[in-house]
Amino acid sequence: MKLEGRVAIVTGAAQGIGEGIAAELVREGAAVVVADVAEDGAAAVAEQLSRDGGRAISVACDVSEEEQVRSLVERAVSELGGLHVYVNNAAIGVYTPVAETTVEEFDRCLAVNLRGVFLGIKHAARAMQAAGGGGSIVNIASVHSVQNVGGTAPYAASKGGVAALTRAAAIDLAPAGIRVNAICPGWVDTPLIRGIFESDPDPPAARGAVERRQLLGRLGRPEEIGRAAVFLAGDDSSYITGTLLFVDSGMTAQLETWSE
Protein backbone atom coordinates (compact mmCIF):
# COMPACT_ATOMS: atom_id res chain seq x y z
CA MET A 1 0.00 0.00 0.00
CA LYS A 2 2.16 2.86 -1.29
CA LEU A 3 -0.48 5.59 -0.88
CA GLU A 4 -2.15 4.70 2.41
CA GLY A 5 -3.51 7.83 4.12
CA ARG A 6 -3.20 10.00 0.99
CA VAL A 7 -6.02 11.85 -0.74
CA ALA A 8 -5.94 12.16 -4.54
CA ILE A 9 -8.00 13.91 -7.19
CA VAL A 10 -8.07 12.47 -10.73
CA THR A 11 -9.75 14.58 -13.42
CA GLY A 12 -11.39 13.00 -16.46
CA ALA A 13 -11.73 9.79 -14.43
CA ALA A 14 -15.15 8.66 -15.70
CA GLN A 15 -13.50 6.44 -18.33
CA GLY A 16 -10.27 5.54 -20.08
CA ILE A 17 -6.88 6.42 -18.66
CA GLY A 18 -8.34 8.51 -15.81
CA GLU A 19 -10.46 5.58 -14.64
CA GLY A 20 -7.38 3.34 -14.80
CA ILE A 21 -5.36 5.83 -12.76
CA ALA A 22 -8.11 6.21 -10.14
CA ALA A 23 -8.34 2.41 -9.77
CA GLU A 24 -4.57 2.00 -9.30
CA LEU A 25 -4.40 4.86 -6.75
CA VAL A 26 -7.26 3.28 -4.78
CA ARG A 27 -5.54 -0.13 -4.98
CA GLU A 28 -2.52 1.47 -3.26
CA GLY A 29 -4.69 2.79 -0.42
CA ALA A 30 -5.44 6.37 -1.54
CA ALA A 31 -8.86 7.95 -1.04
CA VAL A 32 -9.77 9.26 -4.50
CA VAL A 33 -12.02 11.98 -5.92
CA VAL A 34 -13.26 10.83 -9.32
CA ALA A 35 -13.79 14.15 -11.12
CA ASP A 36 -15.31 14.51 -14.58
CA VAL A 37 -17.62 16.72 -16.61
CA ALA A 38 -19.57 13.49 -17.23
CA GLU A 39 -21.35 13.40 -13.88
CA ASP A 40 -23.07 10.01 -14.20
CA GLY A 41 -19.93 8.31 -15.48
CA ALA A 42 -17.88 9.70 -12.59
CA ALA A 43 -20.50 8.55 -10.08
CA ALA A 44 -20.52 5.04 -11.58
CA VAL A 45 -16.71 4.76 -11.35
CA ALA A 46 -16.68 6.00 -7.73
CA GLU A 47 -19.44 3.53 -6.80
CA GLN A 48 -17.54 0.64 -8.39
CA LEU A 49 -14.32 1.58 -6.58
CA SER A 50 -16.22 1.79 -3.28
CA ARG A 51 -17.92 -1.60 -3.92
CA ASP A 52 -14.43 -3.05 -4.49
CA GLY A 53 -13.47 -1.89 -0.97
CA GLY A 54 -11.81 1.45 -1.78
CA ARG A 55 -12.62 4.96 -0.63
CA ALA A 56 -13.89 7.12 -3.50
CA ILE A 57 -16.32 9.95 -4.12
CA SER A 58 -17.32 11.62 -7.38
CA VAL A 59 -17.48 15.32 -8.17
CA ALA A 60 -18.86 16.88 -11.36
CA CYS A 61 -16.26 19.33 -12.68
CA ASP A 62 -15.43 21.05 -15.94
CA VAL A 63 -11.68 21.60 -15.60
CA SER A 64 -11.74 24.64 -17.88
CA GLU A 65 -13.82 26.59 -15.30
CA GLU A 66 -11.81 28.07 -12.42
CA GLU A 67 -14.69 28.18 -9.96
CA GLN A 68 -15.43 24.49 -10.51
CA VAL A 69 -11.79 23.48 -10.03
CA ARG A 70 -11.52 25.58 -6.86
CA SER A 71 -14.64 23.91 -5.50
CA LEU A 72 -13.37 20.44 -6.53
CA VAL A 73 -10.25 20.94 -4.41
CA GLU A 74 -12.36 22.21 -1.51
CA ARG A 75 -14.55 19.07 -1.67
CA ALA A 76 -11.48 16.81 -1.45
CA VAL A 77 -10.18 18.68 1.59
CA SER A 78 -13.54 18.92 3.39
CA GLU A 79 -14.88 15.43 2.57
CA LEU A 80 -11.70 13.32 2.47
CA GLY A 81 -9.52 15.30 4.87
CA GLY A 82 -6.76 16.78 2.72
CA LEU A 83 -5.06 16.73 -0.66
CA HIS A 84 -1.74 15.03 -1.40
CA VAL A 85 -1.98 14.04 -5.07
CA TYR A 86 -3.62 15.80 -8.04
CA VAL A 87 -3.72 14.11 -11.45
CA ASN A 88 -4.51 16.43 -14.36
CA ASN A 89 -5.83 13.85 -16.84
CA ALA A 90 -8.95 15.38 -18.46
CA ALA A 91 -8.48 16.41 -22.09
CA ILE A 92 -10.24 16.45 -25.43
CA GLY A 93 -8.87 15.39 -28.81
CA VAL A 94 -9.16 18.18 -31.38
CA TYR A 95 -7.37 16.84 -34.43
CA THR A 96 -7.46 19.40 -37.25
CA PRO A 97 -4.83 20.72 -39.69
CA VAL A 98 -3.55 24.17 -38.72
CA ALA A 99 -4.92 26.07 -41.75
CA GLU A 100 -8.39 24.56 -41.33
CA THR A 101 -8.69 25.02 -37.55
CA THR A 102 -11.23 27.58 -36.35
CA VAL A 103 -10.47 29.93 -33.48
CA GLU A 104 -13.31 28.27 -31.55
CA GLU A 105 -11.80 24.78 -32.01
CA PHE A 106 -8.35 25.98 -31.00
CA ASP A 107 -9.58 27.90 -27.96
CA ARG A 108 -11.78 25.03 -26.69
CA CYS A 109 -8.91 22.55 -26.96
CA LEU A 110 -6.52 24.87 -25.11
CA ALA A 111 -9.19 25.74 -22.51
CA VAL A 112 -9.66 22.10 -21.48
CA ASN A 113 -6.21 20.63 -22.13
CA LEU A 114 -3.95 23.50 -21.01
CA ARG A 115 -5.97 26.00 -18.96
CA GLY A 116 -7.53 23.00 -17.17
CA VAL A 117 -4.06 21.75 -16.21
CA PHE A 118 -3.01 25.24 -15.10
CA LEU A 119 -6.12 25.57 -12.91
CA GLY A 120 -5.57 22.13 -11.42
CA ILE A 121 -1.97 22.92 -10.55
CA LYS A 122 -2.88 26.35 -9.16
CA HIS A 123 -5.66 25.23 -6.82
CA ALA A 124 -4.04 21.94 -5.81
CA ALA A 125 -0.83 23.81 -4.99
CA ARG A 126 -2.69 26.35 -2.86
CA ALA A 127 -4.33 23.59 -0.81
CA MET A 128 -1.05 21.68 -0.49
CA GLN A 129 0.85 24.85 0.51
CA ALA A 130 -1.80 25.68 3.13
CA ALA A 131 -1.47 22.19 4.65
CA GLY A 132 2.34 22.48 4.60
CA GLY A 133 3.03 18.82 3.89
CA GLY A 134 4.11 18.99 0.24
CA GLY A 135 2.45 16.90 -2.44
CA SER A 136 2.66 15.44 -5.92
CA ILE A 137 1.02 16.75 -9.09
CA VAL A 138 0.94 14.45 -12.10
CA ASN A 139 0.00 15.85 -15.51
CA ILE A 140 -1.06 13.53 -18.31
CA ALA A 141 0.72 14.97 -21.35
CA SER A 142 1.32 12.89 -24.50
CA VAL A 143 3.89 11.73 -27.03
CA HIS A 144 2.47 14.77 -28.88
CA SER A 145 4.27 16.94 -26.30
CA VAL A 146 7.53 16.28 -28.14
CA GLN A 147 6.77 14.81 -31.60
CA ASN A 148 3.82 15.25 -33.92
CA VAL A 149 1.87 14.02 -36.90
CA GLY A 150 -0.13 16.11 -39.35
CA GLY A 151 -3.69 17.19 -38.68
CA THR A 152 -3.37 17.57 -34.91
CA ALA A 153 -2.47 21.26 -34.43
CA PRO A 154 -4.68 22.22 -31.44
CA TYR A 155 -4.03 18.98 -29.55
CA ALA A 156 -0.27 19.14 -30.23
CA ALA A 157 -0.09 22.77 -29.08
CA SER A 158 -1.97 21.95 -25.88
CA LYS A 159 0.25 18.98 -25.04
CA GLY A 160 3.46 20.92 -25.76
CA GLY A 161 2.12 23.51 -23.35
CA VAL A 162 1.48 20.87 -20.69
CA ALA A 163 5.14 19.80 -20.87
CA ALA A 164 6.36 23.40 -20.47
CA LEU A 165 3.87 24.08 -17.67
CA THR A 166 5.07 20.95 -15.87
CA ARG A 167 8.64 22.27 -15.81
CA ALA A 168 7.61 25.83 -14.84
CA ALA A 169 5.36 24.61 -12.01
CA ALA A 170 8.03 22.20 -10.73
CA ILE A 171 10.40 25.16 -10.33
CA ASP A 172 7.84 27.39 -8.62
CA LEU A 173 6.53 24.73 -6.24
CA ALA A 174 9.72 22.92 -5.22
CA PRO A 175 10.27 25.21 -2.19
CA ALA A 176 6.90 24.02 -0.84
CA GLY A 177 7.88 20.36 -1.30
CA ILE A 178 5.41 19.91 -4.14
CA ARG A 179 6.72 17.80 -7.03
CA VAL A 180 5.25 18.24 -10.52
CA ASN A 181 5.80 15.65 -13.25
CA ALA A 182 4.12 14.50 -16.44
CA ILE A 183 3.40 11.16 -18.04
CA CYS A 184 3.52 11.00 -21.84
CA PRO A 185 1.43 8.04 -22.99
CA GLY A 186 1.67 6.52 -26.45
CA TRP A 187 -1.33 4.60 -27.83
CA VAL A 188 -3.58 3.48 -24.96
CA ASP A 189 -6.81 1.55 -25.55
CA THR A 190 -9.54 3.99 -24.41
CA PRO A 191 -12.82 5.38 -25.81
CA LEU A 192 -10.83 8.33 -27.25
CA ILE A 193 -8.63 6.01 -29.29
CA ARG A 194 -11.47 3.66 -30.25
CA GLY A 195 -13.22 6.77 -31.66
CA ILE A 196 -10.18 7.44 -33.87
CA PHE A 197 -10.23 3.86 -35.18
CA GLU A 198 -13.98 4.02 -35.77
CA SER A 199 -13.58 7.13 -37.92
CA ASP A 200 -11.50 5.00 -40.34
CA PRO A 201 -13.35 3.18 -43.16
CA ASP A 202 -11.89 -0.11 -41.86
CA PRO A 203 -11.59 0.17 -38.02
CA PRO A 204 -10.08 -3.33 -37.39
CA ALA A 205 -7.44 -2.73 -40.08
CA ALA A 206 -6.62 0.71 -38.64
CA ARG A 207 -6.22 -0.79 -35.18
CA GLY A 208 -4.10 -3.67 -36.49
CA ALA A 209 -1.79 -1.27 -38.33
CA VAL A 210 -1.20 0.74 -35.15
CA GLU A 211 -0.63 -2.41 -33.07
CA ARG A 212 1.96 -3.71 -35.55
CA ARG A 213 3.90 -0.43 -35.36
CA GLN A 214 4.32 -0.65 -31.56
CA LEU A 215 7.69 -2.02 -30.40
CA LEU A 216 5.81 -4.12 -27.84
CA GLY A 217 3.23 -5.23 -30.44
CA ARG A 218 0.08 -3.91 -28.76
CA LEU A 219 -1.74 -0.86 -27.43
CA GLY A 220 -1.23 0.16 -23.81
CA ARG A 221 -3.83 -0.47 -21.11
CA PRO A 222 -5.20 2.31 -18.85
CA GLU A 223 -3.88 0.53 -15.75
CA GLU A 224 -0.33 0.71 -17.19
CA ILE A 225 -0.58 4.50 -17.10
CA GLY A 226 -2.09 4.05 -13.63
CA ARG A 227 1.04 2.22 -12.42
CA ALA A 228 3.23 5.09 -13.67
CA ALA A 229 0.93 7.54 -11.86
CA VAL A 230 1.29 5.54 -8.62
CA PHE A 231 5.08 5.81 -9.00
CA LEU A 232 5.03 9.58 -9.54
CA ALA A 233 2.38 10.14 -6.86
CA GLY A 234 4.21 8.28 -4.11
CA ASP A 235 7.52 8.27 -2.27
CA ASP A 236 9.27 5.95 -4.77
CA SER A 237 9.77 9.06 -6.93
CA SER A 238 10.76 11.38 -4.04
CA TYR A 239 13.79 12.85 -5.95
CA ILE A 240 11.95 13.35 -9.26
CA THR A 241 10.37 16.63 -10.29
CA GLY A 242 9.93 18.55 -13.54
CA THR A 243 10.30 15.45 -15.69
CA LEU A 244 8.40 13.76 -18.52
CA LEU A 245 7.95 10.00 -18.13
CA PHE A 246 7.27 8.29 -21.46
CA VAL A 247 4.94 5.29 -21.22
CA ASP A 248 4.76 4.73 -24.95
CA SER A 249 6.05 1.28 -25.91
CA GLY A 250 9.22 2.99 -27.15
CA MET A 251 7.39 5.10 -29.73
CA THR A 252 9.55 8.17 -29.12
CA ALA A 253 12.77 6.12 -28.92
CA GLN A 254 13.04 5.12 -32.55
CA LEU A 255 13.77 6.96 -35.79
CA GLU A 256 11.65 6.12 -38.82
CA THR A 257 11.75 2.44 -39.72
CA TRP A 258 13.29 1.65 -43.11
CA SER A 259 11.35 -1.52 -43.75
CA GLU A 260 8.01 -2.99 -42.73
Ligand X SMILES: NC(=O)c1ccc[n+]([C@@H]2O[C@H](COP(=O)([O-])OP(=O)(O)OC[C@H]3O[C@@H](n4cnc5c(N)ncnc54)[C@H](O)[C@@H]3O)[C@@H](O)[C@H]2O)c1
Active site residue 86: no
- Whether the Cβ atoms of residue 11 and residue 45 lie closer than 8 Å to each other: no
In the list 3, 10, 37, 178, the residue contacting ligand X (rule: CB under 6 A) is 37
Q: Which of 164, 191, 196, 194 is nearest to 180 (CA)?
A: 164
Applying CB under 6 A, what is the total number of residues that bind ligand X? 29
The amino acid at residue 142 is S
Q: Is residue 12 a contact residue for ligand X (CB under 6 A)?
A: yes
- The Cα–Cα gap between 161 and 86 comes to 18
Min separation Cβ 239 and ligand X, Å: 25
In this complex, which beta carbon is closest to ligand X, that of residue 62 or of residue 223?
62
Q: Which of 156, 188, 233, 251 binds ligand X (CB under 6 A)?
A: 188
The minimum distance between CB 231 and ligand X, in angstroms, equals: 17
Residues 6+ apart with CB under 8 A from 85: 3, 6, 7, 8, 9, 25, 30, 135, 136, 137, 138, 233
Applying CB under 6 A, which part among 75-83, 90-98, 122-130, 209-217 lies near ligand X? 90-98
Q: Hey, how many other C-beta atoms are within 10 angstroms of the C-beta on 6?
A: 23
Q: Cα-Cα-Cα-Cα dihedral of 176, 81, 138, 114, to 10°?
A: -90
The per-residue DSSP string of 10-61 comes to EETTTSHHHHHHHHHHHHTT-EEEEEES-HHHHHHHHHHHHHTT-EEEEEE-
CA distances from residue 143 to 66, 98, 154 in whole angstroms, order as listed = 27, 19, 14
The span from the CA of 242 to the CA of 99, in Å, is 33
| Residue list 97-126, contact with ligand X (CB under 6 A) | 112
CB of 237 to ligand X, least distance (A): 19
Q: How far is the CB of 140 from ligand X (least distance, A)?
A: 4
Q: Which is nearer to ligand X, 4 or 67 (CB)?
A: 67
Q: Which stretch binds ligand X (CB under 6 A): 26-34, 49-57, 87-95, 126-134?
A: 87-95
> Pick the catalytic residue: 86, 95, 155, 239?
155
Which residue's CB is nearer to ligand X, number 8 or number 63? 63
State yes or no: residue 90 binds ligand X (CB under 6 A): yes
Residues tagged active-site: 155
Residues of this chain that bind ligand X (CB under 6 A)? 11-12, 14-18, 36-38, 41, 61-64, 89-92, 112, 140, 142, 185, 187-188, 190-193
